[in-house]
Amino acid sequence: MGESGKDRVRRWRPVALSSPQAPSVEELLRQVGRGDQAAFASLFDAVIGKVLGLASRVLRNPQLAEEVAQEVMVQVWRTAARFDAERGSGLAWVLTLTHRRAVDRVRAEQALTDRTERVAAMDAQVPHDQVAEAVSARLDREQVRRCLGRLTDLQREAVTLAYYEGYTYRQVAERLDAPLPTIKSRMRDGLIRMRDCLGVTMGERA
């Protein structure tokens, strides 16, 4: 769309974590752990800005940070039942997941860069096992892209605008000329479908 990743990150407007009427992140996580899709939509609004901010600081690459943020939110949906309030706050738990995944991505990207430089220095054909390692390092990212392609047009457009363009729900609704409740529903359903798609894909790898 002609806009840099840095501009998209700068335009992101995180939602306040709580208000007198809103449940806490901890309560939302408990509800999400029971499969509450509406709670997941509220949790997404509450934490996505901080998730993206932390990923950006670790990775220093807007595109990679956006991908990690998307992966983390899928992971939160799948593993919310594991959250234990006695061990820390809900936001801290989500940000711990974010930091781990971001650090893993840094290591994977660095390992891939190191392998590429070694092969270039040797000026030799890359052996099959090195190709396999490089593919494995990028496999998770490719899985997310492939699963994103399995969404309906509206789901994919809504999720892409929110994750990769930094739009709020209301801005996405305006861009797609669709009712706000419809956009929230499609984004929630899209994330759930991605969760299921990633689960099947990882099962096939195992």
154, amino acid identity = L
Gyration radius from the chain CA atoms: 18
* pLDDT, tens digit, 9 for 90 and up, residues 93-138: 999 999 999 999 888 888 776 666 665 555 444 444 444 454 444 5
Q: 33 and 80 in contact (C-beta within 8 Å)?
A: yes
pTM, two decimals, is 0.49
In whole angstroms, give the CA distance from residue 202 to residue 160: 22
What integer pLDDT is reported at residue 198 of this predicted model? 67
Over residues 127-150, mean pLDDT: 59
> Which domains does the chain carry?
5-205 (1.10.1740.10)
Q: 137 and 156 in contact (C-beta within 8 Å)?
A: no
Q: Which residue has the tokens 């359903």?
A: 189
Name the maximum alpha-carbon separation found in the chain. 64
Q: 165 and 1 in contact (C-beta within 8 Å)?
A: yes
* pLDDT, tens digit, 9 for 90 and up, residues 180-191: 888 877 777 877
